[in-house]
């Protein structure tokens, strides 16, 4: 998969792409990140990428000329290329959308700065505006890192089977169960006995229940969409009635 990232700060990306799973995916050719320096498409001696908004108001708006040229430079004759603009007003990024986007061959990620980009760029080129959360960033660059990371790890054979994405929090529709490793006792806290006994059916049952408990406590909204068995529902009812007793 190729990400074409249009940015005025290409150097911003050098460090995050140098480490771990994403660096490996890049060096093995499973993932390519093509950094496109927006300033290379400017025409004036100051290499201007922004201007004051028509109608007045605070802040600056990214001008359409250089953005258009930058997008065209990667688009060329390609038809199966999706153009994404980062914006706090965009569709909220989540695991489901990461899985959907991981199927694409090439994505163009436009990193906005200032007060946003000229609307004609959005109307003329952008397939999807994307937000990574309900807060305002100084620009799209940190959002691009988040999206490249979340999608990159889902690409075929980027994660080894021991790191499989299948059991991720959200992939199952639930938050992931707690994990423990050596030592058996730490700060007077023991690893739950069931994890030490090697009974895989019991371990799976314990993990499922912990996932259900955690999701019910922290993200009850996810339970509405999760695939739940009759047993899961029964267990959740049990948790609910215990909570009611306490209250
Ligand atoms: N640009 C500014 N804030 C953003 C957000 N929350 N998500 C994506 N891009 C942004």
CA of 188 to the centre of ligand 1 (A): 43
pLDDT at 214: 97
The radius of gyration of the chain from alpha carbons, rounded to an integer in Å, stands at 23
**Which is the catalytic residue, given 37, 106, 115, 232?**
115
Q: Catalytic: 178?
A: no
CA distance 51 to 60: 5
Q: Using an 8 Å Cβ cutoff, are 155 and 30 in contact?
A: yes
The two tokens of residue 88 are: 């706090």
Residues whose CB is less than 8 angstroms from the CB of residue 33 and which lie 6 or more positions away in sequence, other chains included: 2, 3, 5, 13, 17, 26, 148
**204 given a catalytic annotation:** no
CB-CB contact of 108 with 74 (8 Å): yes
Name which residue sits closest to atom 7 of ligand 1, judged by CA: 131
- For residues 97 and 44, membership in a common domain is answered with yes
The parts of the chain modelled with pLDDT lower than 70 are 162-163, 246-247
Asked whether the beta carbons of 132 and 1 are under 8 A apart, the reply is: no
| CATH at 114 | 3.40.1280.10
Could you tell me how far CA 216 lies from the centroid of its own chain? 23
Whether residue 231 lies inside any domain: the answer is yes
User: Which pLDDT does position 216 carry in this prediction?
Assistant: 97
183 is catalytic: no
How many residues does the structure list for the chain?
247
Give the active site residue among 10, 47, 82, 88: 88
Of the residues 6, 133, 140, 150, which should be mutated to test ligand 1's pocket, given the most ligand atoms within 8 Å of the CB? 140
Ligand 1, pocket-test mutation among 6, 87, 128, 147, most atoms within 8 A of CB: 87
Distance CA 145, CA 166 (A): 22
Q: How confident is the model at residue 171, as a pLDDT?
A: 81
Residue 171 lies inside a defined structural domain of this protein: no
Q: 13 and 124 in one domain?
A: yes
Both 138 and 97 in one domain: the answer is yes
- In this structure, are 236 and 127 located in the same domain? no
Instruction: Say what the pLDDT of residue 90 is.
Output: 97
Q: Is 146 within the bounds of a domain?
A: yes
Residues of the domain holding 112: 2-162
In a domain, 173, yes or no: no
Q: Measure the CA–CA gap between 166 and 122, rounded to whole angstroms.
A: 35
- Hey, which of 88, 91, 97, 113 would you mutate to test ligand 1's pocket, going by the most ligand atoms within 8 Å of its Cβ? 88
Residues 119 and 51 in one domain: yes
**Active-site residue, from 37, 149, 168, 213:** 168
Q: Is 168 a catalytic residue?
A: yes
Residues 150 and 198 in one domain: no
SS3 assignment, position 43 = coil
Q: Which residues contact 60 (CB under 8 A, 6 or more apart)?
A: 50, 51, 52, 53, 114, 115
Q: Tell me whether residue 167 is in a domain.
A: no
170 located within any domain = no
- Do 13 and 135 lie in one domain? The reply is yes
For residue 65, give the nearest of 49, 84, 82, 45 by alpha carbon. Answer: 49
Run of H or E residues at 123? helix 119-125
What are the structure tokens assigned to 168, written together?
Answer: 């991720």
- On whether both 17 and 139 belong to a single domain, the answer is yes
* 131 alpha carbon – ligand 1 mean position (Å): 5
Does residue 157 share a domain with residue 38?
A: yes
The total number of structural domains that make up the chain: 2
Ligand 1 binding residues, C-beta < 6 A: 86-88, 131-133, 135-137, 140, 143
Q: How far is the CA of 89 from the centre of ligand 1 (A)?
A: 8
pTM of the predicted model over 0.75: yes
One domain for residues 145 and 33? yes
Please report, in angstroms and rounded to a whole number, the separation of the first and last CA atoms in the chain.
Answer: 52
């Amino acid at each position: 998969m190729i990400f074409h990232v249009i940015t005025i700060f290409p150097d911003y990306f050098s460090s995050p792409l140098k480490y771990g799973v994403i660096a490996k995916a890049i060096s093995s050719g499973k993932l390519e990140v093509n950094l496109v320096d927006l300033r290379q498409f400017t025409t004036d001696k100051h290499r201007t990428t922004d201007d004051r908004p028509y109608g007045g108001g605070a802040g600056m708006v990214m001008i359409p000329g250089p953005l258009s040229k930058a997008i065209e430079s990667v688009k060329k004759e390609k038809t199966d290329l999706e153009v994404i603009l980062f914006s706090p007003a965009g569709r909220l990024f989540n695991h489901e959308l990461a899985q959907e986007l991981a199927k694409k061959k090439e994505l163009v990620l436009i990193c906005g700065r200032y007060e946003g980009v000229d609307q004609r760029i959005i109307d003329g080129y952008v397939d999807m505006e994307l937000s990574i959360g309900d807060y305002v960033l100084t620009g799209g660059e940190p959002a691009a890192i988040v999206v490249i990371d979340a999608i990159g790890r889902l690409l075929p054979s980027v994660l080894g089977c021991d790191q499989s994405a299948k059991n991720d929090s959200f992939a199952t529709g639930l938050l992931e169960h707690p994990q423990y490793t050596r030592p058996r006792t730490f700060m007077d806290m023991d690893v739950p006995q069931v994890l030490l006994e090697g009974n895989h059916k019991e371990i799976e049952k314990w993990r499922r229940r912990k996932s259900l408990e955690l999701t019910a406590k922290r993200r009850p909204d996810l339970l509405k969409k999760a695939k739940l068995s009759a047993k899961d529902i029964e267990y959740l009812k049990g948790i609910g009635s215990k909570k009611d007793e306490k209250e």
